[in-house]
A and B are shown apart, each in its own frame.
Chain A
Amino acid sequence: MTAAATRIALVGAPNCGKSTLFNGLTGGRAKVANYPGATVETRHGRFETPGGHSVDLIDLPGFYGMSPRSLDEKIALETVLGKDGAAPELILALVDAANVRTHLQSVLQLRAIGAPMIVVLNMYDLALRDGFEIDLEKLEKELALPVVTANATRKAGREALLAKLDGVLAGLKDIKPAPAGAYPAPEDIRAHQGEARRIADAAILYEPLFNRATRIIDRFALHPLFGPAILAALLFFMFQAVFTWATAPVDFLDASAGALGEFLGARLPEGWLRDLLVDGVIAGVGSVVVFLPQIVILFTFILLLEASGYMARAAFLMDEIMHRFGLNGRAFIPLLSSFACAIPGIMASRVIENDRDRLTTILIAPLMTCSARLPVYTLIIAAFIPKETVGPFNLQGLVLFALYIAGIFSAVLIAFLFKRTIAKARSQPLIMELPTYKLPNAKDFFISLWMRASAFLKRAGTVILATSVILWFLAAYPASATSLRESFAGRIGSLLEPLLAPIGFNLEIAIALVPGMAAREVAVSALGTVYAVHGGPEDAQGLAETLQSAWSLPTALAFLAWYVFAPQCFATLATIRRETGSWKWAGFALGYLFALAYLGAGLVYWGARAAGL
């Protein structure tokens, strides 16, 4: 059957529910979010209709029409026009049912190139709730295309669509696929606009006013004074919460890992296996896994912000500031996404129309504090920053916030420099739809959250486990070694030590930075392993306490500063290479970020020493 699968593409404006429908029909896991540019690549999924037709469904980035400007729009359009292989045999043209008047125009453009399609009025539930009355038969007749309504978020809401699909698929053999079409000229667009409005006037019986909740929320969220204040407060609250809410569960996990280590240490026979498990696996992997609660809290905030529709507002508020520093307001969304992870952040930069703007955004995305830095930051903060409150705020949370701010400020400054040197370009336009606010869908939210949490655990079980085991061997052998320095790892670290000593880094840090190239949180597991191997056998204290006695405060602060900049994530570098198409820019990012890390750590170390800390 697989060979006979019909290729069907989901096409429509951003935020009309394509990815939601894709996930619903295929059981897929495409990213669903309420801002333009959430989908930046094509995604395929298979499903079988109730009538037994096998379908190869393609989810595409959104676009409004056939004049693509940004990379994500080009990707979508080229797939629709079959420029990268076979064109889809059928198009599901999604239209937000509450915006038929404006969005019908792109359906008409597609109709003009002769693409076989079904028009899907999605979010029909919301349109009905708002009081819309649409004459579907009339619409079908005027368009001369099959029309069906849908509510992509619910199974029942997709049934009519599936039935229609079966009807159309049964007769599809008689329909010719579209010839590779040319981009329409503006005159065509004008004609389509007029036609779209004529059809809308005929088919829409009652059109309510603009969404009231959105109007009221935006009165505050987009207010010239309150708007930026709300944005700042939201971000600040997010970082405070990451610290304060996570304390109890993190302590609990930490204690459990410690107890497990002690338990195994006491039960297993003495020997290399016990040491490997206790000092390598539990001390290494355990020290990272304990930060799961923080990752979960951070992603909860980011996912809720993305799903609510607020992201596009944040981009609106930030546009002019970003613009003055040479970036596009739309770059704010990829950069905010980079708080979770730089990789989707770098991918999301595809929505930026100008190549040079896009390059700048890609190069500074690693400066945004990604979630992999959380274990590093939290470990050091918990060990060295006192648990005090400053006014209503938690001091540890404030330091964490300061580290995020340090990342943002350096990103802005670097962008400013790049725009004046390597990425010169004239200013770029901003034309962006702000979606209406939506209550996040609980199922989507939990699926996404689970995906992020399990990805984190999976990394702990693979990369971090592997590096921990290897590092344990290198640190524990040769068996004749009486100190860390004499071990294999110590010998490797000794090579780097002279380079790192001026910025306050000791041998253990030098050793941890090497496997730490794989991913940032590996530095934490590596420190856990290195200190466990050559620590006292019975010392069951957590890594934080160990560091407290082993490091000076200037060293700890320098280590934090290092991680604000250090490009220690191989996957990010590989993504930069892929998105820019050359190792040149990945190498450039690697070089400039390491230079900044060294400089930053050195300045902090010597500053702290001079201040007598």
Chain B
Amino acid sequence: MLLSDMKKGAAGRIAAISADDPLIEAKLREIGFAESDSVELAHIGPLGGTPVCVRLNRTLIALRLDEAKAISVTVEP
């Protein structure tokens, strides 16, 4: 499922990262998103559920739903 569709508190492992804009993909990777890393949707923004804040390894990253669509996650039950 896409990171942008995850519910608050859900966690999983990153399955793939791909964005239409190669620069966005590069940026996501550079800030730390990588296949098979674990992510947790830790917080959601107060207005319209965006941006979201994910815990990625030991960092917290804020991103808008548009950017979160670039990341697909295998959710762990």
A102 and B23 contact, CB distance less than 8 A: no
Which stretch (A315-323, A397-405, A526-534) binds chain B? A315-323
A67 and B62 contact, CB distance less than 8 A: no
B60 is an interface residue with CB less than 8 A from chain A: yes
A430 is an interface residue with CB less than 8 A from chain B: yes
> Which residue, A105, A186, A323, has most C-beta atoms of chain B within 10 A?
A186
Kindly supply a per-residue 1/0 record for chain B positions 51-67, scoring 1 wherever the CB is within 8 Å of any chain A CB and 0 otherwise.
10101111111111011
A433 and B46 contact, CB distance less than 8 A: no
Expressed in whole angstroms, the Cα–Cα distance for A519 and B62 within the complex equals 38
B27 and A67 contact, CB distance less than 8 A: yes
Q: Which residues of B contact A103 (CB under 8 A)?
A: 32
Kindly supply a per-residue 1/0 record for chain A positions 91-109, scoring 1 wherever the CB is within 8 Å of any chain B CB and 0 otherwise.
0000000110111011000
Q: Interface SS of chain A: helix, strand, loop or mixed?
A: helix
Q: Which residue of B lies closest to A102 (CB)?
A: B32
Near A by CB (< 8 A), chain B positions 25-63 give 25-32, 34-35, 37, 42-48, 50-51, 53, 55-63
> Which residue, B55, B64, B67, has most C-beta atoms of chain A within 10 A?
B64
B24 is an interface residue with CB less than 8 A from chain A: yes
Contact for B26 among A67, A210, A214, A312, CB less than 8 A: A67
B22 is an interface residue with CB less than 8 A from chain A: yes
A416 is an interface residue with CB less than 8 A from chain B: no
Contact for A99 among B30, B35, B55, B58, CB less than 8 A: B58
Q: Which residue of B lies closest to A219 (CB)?
A: B43
B58 and A431 contact, CB distance less than 8 A: no
Q: Which residues of A contact B31 (CB under 8 A)?
A: 64, 102, 431, 433
Q: Which residues of A contact B37 (CB under 8 A)?
A: 197
Kindly supply a per-residue 1/0 record for chain A positions 537-555, scoring 1 wherever the CB is within 8 Å of any chain B CB and 0 otherwise.
0000000000000000000
Q: A224-B45, A227-B46, A319-B51 are in contact. Are A211 and B61 (CB under 8 A)?
A: no
A102 and B59 contact, CB distance less than 8 A: yes
A83 is an interface residue with CB less than 8 A from chain B: no
Q: Which residues of B contact A431 (CB under 8 A)?
A: 24, 27-28, 31, 61-63, 67
B34 and A197 contact, CB distance less than 8 A: yes
Q: Which residues of A contact B48 (CB under 8 A)?
A: 320
**How far does the Cβ of B1 sit from chain A's closest Cβ, in whole Å?**
20
**How far does the Cβ of B11 sit from chain A's closest Cβ, in whole Å?**
12
Q: Which residues of B contact A222 (CB under 8 A)?
A: 42-43, 53
A360 is an interface residue with CB less than 8 A from chain B: no
A28 is an interface residue with CB less than 8 A from chain B: no
A69 is an interface residue with CB less than 8 A from chain B: yes
Contact for A429 among B22, B34, B60, B67, CB less than 8 A: B67
A218 and B28 contact, CB distance less than 8 A: no
> Which residue, B28, B45, B67, has most C-beta atoms of chain A within 10 A?
B45
A114 is an interface residue with CB less than 8 A from chain B: no
> Which residue, A66, A224, A317, A430, has most C-beta atoms of chain B within 10 A?
A430
A65 is an interface residue with CB less than 8 A from chain B: yes
A434 is an interface residue with CB less than 8 A from chain B: yes
Q: Which residue of B lies closest to A229 (CB)?
A: B46
**How far does the Cβ of B10 sit from chain A's closest Cβ, in whole Å?**
16
A430 and B42 contact, CB distance less than 8 A: no
Contact for B22 among A66, A186, A319, A321, CB less than 8 A: A186
Q: Which residues of B contact A432 (CB under 8 A)?
A: 61-63
A177 is an interface residue with CB less than 8 A from chain B: no
**How far does the Cβ of A392 sit from chain B's closest Cβ, in whole Å?**
26
A207 is an interface residue with CB less than 8 A from chain B: yes
Q: Which residues of A contact B50 (CB under 8 A)?
A: 319-320
A155 is an interface residue with CB less than 8 A from chain B: no
A210 and B24 contact, CB distance less than 8 A: no
A320 and B61 contact, CB distance less than 8 A: no
B57 and A99 contact, CB distance less than 8 A: yes
Q: Which residue of B lies closest to A98 (CB)?
A: B58
Expressed in whole angstroms, the Cα–Cα distance for A194 and B60 within the complex equals 20
**How far does the Cβ of A558 sit from chain B's closest Cβ, in whole Å?**
36
Expressed in whole angstroms, the Cα–Cα distance for A321 and B29 within the complex equals 27
> Which residue, B22, B60, B67, has most C-beta atoms of chain A within 10 A?
B60
Contact for B46 among A101, A193, A225, CB less than 8 A: A225
**How far does the Cβ of A133 sit from chain B's closest Cβ, in whole Å?**
14
Q: Which residues of B contact A193 (CB under 8 A)?
A: 29, 34-35
A316 and B57 contact, CB distance less than 8 A: no
Expressed in whole angstroms, the Cα–Cα distance for A319 and B51 within the complex equals 7
Q: Which residues of A contact B26 (CB under 8 A)?
A: 65, 67, 186, 189
Near B by CB (< 8 A), chain A positions 363-399 give none
Expressed in whole angstroms, the Cα–Cα distance for A567 and B49 within the complex equals 37
Expressed in whole angstroms, the Cα–Cα distance for A320 and B55 within the complex equals 20
Expressed in whole angstroms, the Cα–Cα distance for A222 and B47 within the complex equals 12
Q: A222-B43, A431-B63, A434-B61 are in contact. Are A69 and B27 (CB under 8 A)?
A: yes
Kindly supply a per-residue 1/0 record for chain A positions 69-102, scoring 1 wherever the CB is within 8 Å of any chain B CB and 0 otherwise.
1000000000000000000000000000011011
Q: Which residues of B contact A102 (CB under 8 A)?
A: 31-32, 34, 56-59
A584 is an interface residue with CB less than 8 A from chain B: no
Contact for B47 among A66, A99, A186, A321, CB less than 8 A: A321
> Which residue, B23, B55, B58, B66, has most C-beta atoms of chain A within 10 A?
B58
Q: Which residue of A lies closest to B8 (CB)?
A: A224
A154 is an interface residue with CB less than 8 A from chain B: no
Q: Which residues of B contact A225 (CB under 8 A)?
A: 46
Q: Which residue of A lies closest to B22 (CB)?
A: A186
20 contacts between A and B (CB under 8 A): A65-B26, A69-B27, A99-B32, A99-B58, A101-B58, A189-B29, A197-B37, A207-B58, A210-B55, A316-B53, A316-B62, A319-B50, A319-B64, A429-B64, A430-B51, A431-B61, A431-B63, A431-B67, A432-B63, A433-B59
Binding site for A on B (CB under 8 A): 22-32, 34-35, 37, 42-48, 50-51, 53, 55-64, 66-67
- Closest 10 interchain pairs by CB? A65-B30, A102-B32, A67-B26, A64-B30, A320-B47, A222-B43, A434-B60, A193-B34, A224-B46, A316-B62
Q: Please name 7 further chain A to chain B contacts, defined as beta carbons within 8 Å, in addition to the given A99-B32, A319-B62, A432-B61, sorted by A numbering.
A: A64-B31, A105-B29, A312-B62, A429-B64, A431-B24, A431-B62, A431-B63
